[in-house]
Chain A
Amino acid sequence: MLFNSFSFLLFFPLVILLFYLIRQSSYPKLVLITASVFFILYSSPFSLLIISVISILNYFIGIQIDKKENPDKIQIYFILGIFINISNLFFFKYFNFFISNINNLSDVLGLIQKLPQLNLILPLGISFYTFSALSYLIDVKLENISAERNLTSFVSYIFFFPKLLAGPIERAQSFLPQINEAKGISTSNFSEGAKLIIWGLFQKLVVADRIAIYVNSVDPHYHSGKTILLSSVLYTFQVYADFSGYTDIARGLAKTLGFNLMENFKRPLFSVSITEFWRRWHISLSSWVNEYIYNPLTLQLRDYGKKGIILALFISFVIVGIWHGATWTFVLFGIIQGIIISIELLSLKWRRKIFKKTPSYLTIILGLLFSFSTITLSLILFRASSIEQASDIIKMIFNPVGKIYYGSAAFILYSLFGILIILLRDIFVEFKGHDIFIIPSRFFIIRSFLYGVLLILIMLVGVFDGSQFIYFQF
């Protein structure tokens, strides 16, 4: 069930109604679990089975780790927990990729025997809840949190439908206390949530899905280099609007139920370096990798100085890349990010020296252009079916001959309008410190009127084909 579908529009008010009506007992958790179960069942009953088994196993293993009895026993349970989560993710997401590479290697070595691939269905949200469960076990092991003793609370944490399909990858530390708190009805939570939902829908339906019509119609076999360049630039805006839109809807849905989910984006298109970009883009993933992979690795490799840091960076970004999907394009995506960030790290001192001599506005403009073009080129790997195709596309971009295909005038105007609104909002938040969509009027009727106008605008220029969110595939 997609957030931008009509079925969800019928489903969610029912959940809110039930949740508010029985909020003062232990039943709200049951309402959340039931709603999440229905949400998963609606799309993939098989996914429900997998997520249930994983939740229950993590619940029991967390308690065993938290017993603090025998350190060896704790270690065994911890390794078992990590193994269960990673092998579950590996099996469903990476097994066929692994087998196909083994078979390719067999071809190279001249071996005839081929391993069969399995017909696997990728369970919904597996990459997201696996990382949530892993961070939970690590935090329990490091005694950052106590294991959750209440099964319904723990299941609510893993199952919580607003974040299940595409995050944010919420930490147990911040989410479990919210689950266990008694929720009161709050009109401010409700209205804040509704604002986030409306803004998220705008990003998804008006911007991302509108651009998608053009991007999907561009074919590297038939269109010119200039057209490929335009569609690649637009694709960067599409991915941003799509994922940021999804996250805002998810955060808005959670907020109406009284839960705070973490921010996943902080105006990433205003980054002046790739290092900064990853501090602003998909924050729940980058901070997860930073906390649970990069920091422990740099600690382990501290004796190797800068080389150790670069190795840790490299490993972290390969994991970020492969987290997105089981193809070499995603591995390469991670490697490229790792290389660029390593170069940025190594060149920091002399870049600072140069920047001291250049006007700050020029430094910012060059930085913005560098990060935007690097991300645009990197995102080609997101869409390309193979590294060869990505390389052909990049070659075409650098050889921009032929006519440019714009689609229709309406497409260009609608897309530019959407992009302009997103950038305008980001500029206000970034430089003025306030959100133009948080309408400050004291009068509810005026706020209602302005949000009503935004909804009408969505109905007027949004794309209502119920298309998928890009990050669902991950």
Chain B
Amino acid sequence: MIHFKSQIIKLIIRIIIFLAVLASLDFICGGILEKLYFNQKTGLFYRTTYGLEKTNAEVLIFGSSSANHHYSPVVLEKQLNLTVYNEGRDGMDILYHTAILKGILKRYTPKVIILNIAPNELTTSNGYDRFSILLPYLRKYPEMIDVLRLKSKYEKIKCISKTYSYNSMLLTIITGMIPNKEKSFIDKGFVPLFDTLNTAKTKISTLVNDPKLDTNRVSFLNQFIKISKEKGIRLYVVFSPYYFSDINTTSSIEVVNSICKQYKTPIMNYIQDSSFTKREEYFVDGGHLNINGATLLSTKLSAIINKDLLDCKLEVLTPNK
């Protein structure tokens, strides 16, 4: 019995020592990573942090890769006479952008939001793992847990580890520390694409309808539009052009239409817009515009927004309370 007790005590002491060493290592490693993460000078994470914590732009653009590559702040600023920042991010859908919007609104309220929605954005096929990029912000913006909880119900507990918040980010953080001349064309979050589509060499993917809707994504879209409305932000929902598409609508688009109708939010559907359809000079692939296409889309869009803002100027400047 004495031997058993001494063994148990020895084991408990060793476990405590090991956990203390582990916690210290985690604290040091996580602390260093946190410092490095929030001191980046360029790159993807820098743009996310800037878009969330620093920008005071009057117009914000949200959406996935299409938003990031299709909306030129320079063109929009010139036309609208308002400051613009592009919050778009490759592979990130409405769940991520609702979390970012909530974070931004803690600091200030933009006047206009352009929300670019992918035609199959609200479907189940995308999974939730990619939202771990929000983890570094969780301590400062605890409301982001609503999105992270979809990834795993234990995400908040996992974040007891400071290092876990920066999981798989080390190399991107290091590249973000090095000023990159090649990326100097990135302006106010906008990442233009410079290639031109060559249909003889590239297989063109056309738009197909994915009917499996994700109720979480539908609910977050609803929240995004509702919050914008409540804050008096003029919101425009846009579907970007496709090089070629047989269809003009999908299950996701139909849901977006019905939610926007409910909140009287204007929608602009460019999927089959004749200015873009089968014009290789505007595309890099079947679903992404190059710099020329982005300039054209931004010009066309800003003309419509300009007119709309003039029509409803009072509404934009007086938030609903």
Contacts and interface: CB of A to CB of B under 8 A. Distances in A.
Interface stretch (A101-109, A112-120, A454-462): A454-462
Contact of A185 (B11, B166, B170): B11
Interface string B165-200: 011101110000000000000000000000000000
Contact of A448 (B7, B21, B164, B166): B21
Q: DSSP class of A's interface residues: helix, strand, loop or mixed? A: helix
B77 interface: no
A451 B18 contact: yes
B301 interface: no
B154 to A, nearest CB: 4
A466 B153 CA distance: 12
Contact of B18 (A6, A7, A413, A448): A448
Contact of B14 (A184, A444, A456, A460): A444
A187 B10 CA distance: 7
Contacts of A20: 8
Contact of B7 (A185, A451, A461): A185
B8 A409 contact: no
Contacts of A191: 14
Interface string A452-472: 110110011111111000000
Given A6-B154, A187-B10, A456-B26, A445 B164 contact: no
B167 A464 contact: yes
Given A20-B8, A191-B14, A460 B163 contact: yes
Nearest to B170: A460
Contacts of B170: 460-461
B129 interface: yes
B8 A452 contact: no
A410 B4 CA distance: 49
A414 interface: yes
A449 B166 contact: no
A451 B21 CA distance: 10
B183 to A, nearest CB: 14
B171 A463 contact: no
Contact of B157 (A6, A186, A187, A463): A6
A222 B10 CA distance: 58
A58 to B, nearest CB: 34
A186 B167 contact: no
A320 B170 CA distance: 42
B21 A461 contact: no
A455 B26 CA distance: 9
Contacts of A187: 7, 10-11, 14
A444 B17 CA distance: 9
A24 interface: yes
Contacts of B168: 410, 414, 460-461, 463
A443 B161 CA distance: 26
Interface in A330-372: none
B84 to A, nearest CB: 29
A449 B7 contact: no
B171 A409 contact: yes
Interface in B89-142: 129, 132
Nearest to A194: B18
B208 to A, nearest CB: 15
A466 B21 contact: no
A6 B158 CA distance: 8
Interface of A: 6-7, 20, 24, 184-187, 190-191, 222, 409-410, 413-414, 444-445, 448-449, 451-453, 455-456, 459-466
17 contacts: A6-B152, A185-B7, A187-B10, A410-B171, A444-B14, A445-B21, A448-B17, A449-B21, A452-B18, A456-B22, A456-B25, A456-B26, A456-B29, A460-B170, A461-B168, A464-B158, A464-B167
Interface of B: 3-4, 7-8, 10-11, 14, 17-18, 21-22, 25-26, 29, 129, 132, 152, 154, 157-158, 161, 163-164, 166-168, 170-172, 203
